[in-house]
Amino acid sequence: MQEKLAKNKKAPARHKAEDDYLLTTKLFCGYCGAYLCGESGTSRTGKVHHYYKCVSVKKKRTECHKRPVRKEWIEDLVVGETMKMVMDDKAIEAIVSMLMDLQDRDNVNVPLYEQQLREADTAISNLLNAIQQGILTRSTKERLEELENRRDELENRLACEKLAKHKVSAEFMTFWLHRFRKLDVRQQSHRKMLIDTFINAIFLYDDKMVITFNYKEGTKTITFAELQEAISNKNGSDLDCLVAPFHNINISLTVITYIS
């Protein structure tokens, strides 16, 4: 047993940490939708090469024929495209604009309470006008007290909602995004930070890749079916540029890069 443990200790690690493969859980096959997993192989010269390979091809699940891609090449390409987006002032402006809009739309309670508060104020104003005209009954007084209590309740709810979800300014969002421009993409930790923050999913073909970016923490990963639907709905638009958000899914923008 001691000899076995000593041998294992000296042997190369059998399972590289997921951090070594930066695109683990984010890189998918554009043809079958399966994950591309990291693997390594040794050439005749003894040099170790690292790849991403389609799981369907590896396990022969389907008739997928996606070729493996070199780890360094695809990671450099994804990091480079992400940094292009981060360094593009127009892209940052578009992202901040979408974030501000999403921030306003995320909380559905605020506009609802504001509408109900306006309705309560209108009803109170109508009752007060009726009282001034001499229409005062027990039911009128009870209705007025009920509406005033309702108004107080709505004002409290509205205040709590606004306090619970502090609105971030466009200036702060821009400042936060600009911080990523200072990353040194030669450092593994900086590359990982960039990918973990921005990349939602990458669908890789032999001639192109589709990169979808997150717009907030906790965004769900786009599915293969959603990707196919979104691409088919573009109706021949220019796929080389930043395009509009996918409908009905939590993706802010998409980049499609053609591989030469």
Q: Which of 164, 181, 204 is the last residue of a domain?
A: 164
pLDDT mean over 219-245: 49
**Domain check: are 95 and 175 in the same one?**
yes
**Domain check: are 11 and 116 in the same one?**
no
What's the Cα-to-Cα distance from 162 to each of 98, 165, 216, 237, rounded to whole Å?
20, 5, 19, 40
**Domain check: are 81 and 185 in the same one?**
yes
Q: Which of 164, 184, 204 is the last residue of a domain?
A: 164
Placement of tokens 């076995």 in the chain = 4
**Domain check: are 180 and 99 in the same one?**
yes
pLDDT for position 252: 35
pLDDT for position 259: 45
Residue 244 token pair: 């509009």
**Domain check: are 93 and 189 in the same one?**
yes
Helix 71-87 vs helix 89-106: crossing angle, to nearest 10:
80
- Residue 222 confidence class, pLDDT cut points 50, 70, 90: low
Query: Alpha-carbon distance 152 to 157, whole Å?
Result: 9
Report the length, in residues, of the chain.
260
pLDDT for position 129: 87
Q: Is 85:91 a contact under the CB 8 Å cutoff?
A: yes
Give tens-digit pLDDT for 128-170: 888 888 777 778 888 888 999 999 998 888 887 776 666 778 8
Q: Is pLDDT larger for residue 11 or for residue 98?
A: 98
**Domain check: are 135 and 58 in the same one?**
no
Q: Is 19:192 a contact under the CB 8 Å cutoff?
A: yes
pLDDT for position 180: 92
- What total of structural domains would you count in the chain? 3
> Which residues constitute the domain of residue 83?
76-103+169-258
**Domain check: are 159 and 214 in the same one?**
no
| Span of 11-15, 42-46, 106-110, 142-146 with lowest mean pLDDT | 11-15
Reference 56, options 37, 77, 75, 79; nearest CA is: 37
- Residue 11 confidence class, pLDDT cut points 50, 70, 90: very low
> Does 260 score more than 50 pLDDT?
no
For the chain, the three-class secondary structure string (H helix, E strand, C coil) is: CHHHHHHHHHCCCCCCCHHHCCCCCCEEECCCCCEEEEEEEECCCCCEEEEEEEHHHHHCCCCCCCCCEEHHHHHHHHHHHHHHHHHCHHHHHHHHHHHHHHHHHHCCHHHHHHHHHHHHHHHHHHHHHHHHCCCCCHHHHHHHHHHHHHHHHHHHHHHHHHHHCCCCCHHHHHHHHHHHHHCCCCCHHHHHHHHHHHEEEEEECCCEEEEEECCCCCCCCCCHHHHHHHHHCCCCCCCCCCECCCCCCCCCEEEEEECC
**Domain check: are 209 and 247 in the same one?**
yes
Residue type, 217: E
Query: Alpha-carbon distance 175 to 172, whole Å?
Result: 5
**Domain check: are 140 and 27 in the same one?**
no
The mean pLDDT value of the chain amounts to 76
Q: Is pLDDT larger for residue 241 or for residue 191?
A: 191
> Does 248 score more than 80 pLDDT?
no
Residue 70 token pair: 């070199």
pLDDT for position 107: 65
**Domain check: are 85 and 200 in the same one?**
yes
Give tens-digit pLDDT for 176-195: 899 999 999 999 999 999 99
**Domain check: are 58 and 84 in the same one?**
no
Single pTM value for the model:
0.60
pLDDT for position 249: 30
**Domain check: are 67 and 122 in the same one?**
no
